[in-house]
Amino acid sequence: MCGIAGIFNNNQIPGNARDIVEQMNKIQKHRGPDDTGIYSDNNCALGHVRLSIIDLSKDGHQPFFSTDKNYVLTYNGEIYNFIELRQELELKGYIFRTKTDTEVLINAYIEWGINCLSKFNGMFAFAIYDIIKNIFFIARDRVGIKPFYYLYKNNTFYFASEIKAFLVIPNINLTLNNLTLFDYLCFNRTDIFDETFTNEISRLPKGHYGIIDKNDLEIKKWWSSFDFLSVKTNISFDEAIKTTENIFLSAVELHMRSDVPTGSCLSGGLDSTILLGIIHSKQLATNGFKTFTASFPGTSYDECSYIELLQKKYQFENFRTYPTADGALKNLNEFVYYNDEPTTSPTFYSQFEVMRLAKDNGVTVLLDGQGGDENFAGYQYFHGFNFTGLYKQKQFGKLLIELYKSFIRKQEKEAFQTFLFQILPSSIKKKLLLKTLPYINKDFFYTYIDKSKIFNEFFSAENLNHSLALHFQYKLEHLLRMEDRNSMAFQIESRVPYLDYRLIEYLLSLPANYKIRNGETKFLQKKALENYTIPEIINRKDKLGFATPGKEWMKTNRWESLTIENYKSLCEKMPSIFNKHVSLKDNLYEKWKVNQLYTWQKIFNVKA
């Protein structure tokens, strides 16, 4: 895991380009404390900061040159199947001088060109400069695990792993992107396609690549979750169970490839405990295995009792951190700075502290359960999307059964709300939504609601599988952004085995009733992987996710005072967006977002 940065112009880069990239490297040094590198010529300057994971020698230094010196690469991420790809390339005559996945990547590009992307199993964001042809190639992984930001200024292309790196560019002025702000305030969503919170900086969309030739940037899609929605009806449930288990076991094994200490995040939920169970059952951890948990003693959010039950089955170390309201307030500026953009929930502050704990205990690679809910339909509101599919397919008998089963499992509220919102006319949806957002200016709401991809696409799912594909498109990436920033703030490489592309593609092709059945979410996951956790967790009825007592935090006097003060300031600066006469009352997310937005604008000097 690393940080990348650079500047490219087909004609000539600015005279101070190398100095700018050096400053970008310094800003991103937390992403790669082990090594720093720069390459520059008249057309290109590339920067890199390295966190050593595979082949800890100096052979992994970047920017990295091809053997013939015609290509130079700066790369962030991991190609988990690099050993297999290396063997394939060796059969084609390639001779390797290092043991890194970096060398595999550049040779794969030389051999297969753009088609190399579909061969990679991993997380990645990279840029390759073709020195001879004066062409610049950029690419990003399928689901957006690794970041890639860019901007054009005076016909020059600037890029980096983090937005804060752009602040060193002379005379840069950042302004607030109102469409992104709208989705953030109204839908609790960020990181939509290529949009950021600023008008000037863009994101290379996940599953896309770009080519710059003659100063024209052409961006194209190379992977999308929507490409795998053709349901295979000839796969039996028993076959799906076996294949799902095999794919996921392979995914975990690949994600455990590392030359540094490895551990995992651990809650009392299904995803992280199954990960731990596989690692222990298959003996994938060679030098002990540490786990890290956010604990909230004395509250309903604490899951340590399940972890203690799990410790009776598997012997492992568990380290705990205890995030608090005061701690979140004390570290607010640090947290916002490292996250690059406003976050959507106090949960991500707890994640920040888990990463700090892992760093303090000597772990460099941390596996996490991110993506399990999106793959296996784990969120309770997925029932509503399932209802929608059955309703639109006129399978009313099955719909009644699922409605009843959901009701007796006490999951009906969120499910019904989602179902109704899916089938209501657009005009009624808008009115209902506006009523839940009294602090948002009505004119601002109606200016941006029809421009919102979240409103127009995310809440227009045809069925459960379509909604899962939409989650990969419009929800998952903002979780991955915070996963990346929180981990890299403490020089931790976070890995997410549930987002192995083979698992995503396979599960999207399976019938909906394999994932939700008899009012039970994650039905297939539980059947396929039940041997790797304990019955008490399999049979839990209270899905918490990675929960934090944020609502209680926001009610404390210090947070209340800060929220009132910051909301007043936002109303004064942005009267066309916020209603100054409205109280935020007890709404957790609105209070959190007000403080995030105000603090972020101040730190990054973003003008409204």
pLDDT single digits (tens) 507-546: 999 999 999 998 899 999 999 999 999 999 999 877 666 6
User: What amino acid occupies position 345?
Assistant: S
Looking at residue 518, the DSSP 8-state letter turns out to be T
- CA pair distance 336, 429, nearest whole angstrom: 32
> CB–CB of 396/291 below 8 Å?
no
Alpha-carbon gap, residue 480 to 508, rounded angstroms? 20
The one-character DSSP state at 548 is: -
Angle among Cα 64, 66, 72 to the nearest 5 degrees reads 50
Dihedral of the alpha carbons of 290, 291, 296, 299, in degrees to the nearest 10: -130
State in Å, rounded, how far the first CA of the chain is from the last one.
Answer: 34
pLDDT at 517: 92
Helix, strand, coil percent values for the chain (each to nearest 5)? 50, 15, 35
Beta strand 365-367 pairing with 262-265: parallel
Q: Say how far apart CA 607 and CA 344 lie, in whole Å.
A: 20
Residue-level pLDDT at 410: 63
pLDDT of residue 544: 65
Which of 78, 217, 120, 123 is closest to 477 using CA atoms? 123
Q: Are 602 and 174 in contact (CB under 8 A)?
A: no
Residue 403 is predicted with a pLDDT of 80
Residues paired with 189 in a beta bridge: none
Compute φ and ψ for 175, nearest 5 degrees.
-125, 150
Amino acid at 478: H
At 503, the amino acid letter reads: L
Q: Share the mean pLDDT of the chain.
A: 94
pTM for this predicted structure: 0.95
- The answer to whether 140 touches 204, Cβ cutoff 8 Å, is yes
pLDDT of residue 200: 98
Position 583 scores a pLDDT of 77
Q: Indicate left, alpha or beta for 558 from its phi (over 0: left) and psi (-120 to 50: alpha).
A: alpha
Residues (pLDDT < 50) of the chain are none
Name which of 515, 477, 254 is nearest 375 in CA terms.
515
Give the long-range contacts of residues 98-103, CB within 8 A, separation 24 or more: 98/55, 98/57, 98/59, 98/60, 99/54, 99/55, 99/57, 99/59, 100/54, 100/55, 100/59, 100/60, 100/64, 101/54, 102/60, 102/62, 102/64, 102/73, 102/75, 103/64
| Domains in the chain, CATH or no CATH each | 2-223 (3.60.20.10), 227-370+474-548 (3.40.50.620), 551-607 (no CATH)
Q: What is the DSSP-derived secondary structure letter of residue 176?
A: B
pLDDT digits (tens, 9 = 90+) for 138-178: 999 999 999 999 999 888 999 999 999 999 999 999 999 99
Give DSSP secondary structure letters for 5-24: EEEE-SS---TTHHHHHHHH
Amino acid (1-letter code) at residue 267: S
Give strand pairing partners of 221: 208
pLDDT for the residue 54: 87
Amino acid at 266: L
**Would you say 65 and 72 are in contact if contact means Cβ atoms under 8 Å apart?**
yes
CB atoms within 10 A of CB 332: 17
* Neighbouring C-beta atoms of residue 60, cutoff 10 Å: 21
Tokens of 46: 């590339």
Q: Which residues contact 541 (CB under 8 A, 6 or more apart)?
A: 409, 410
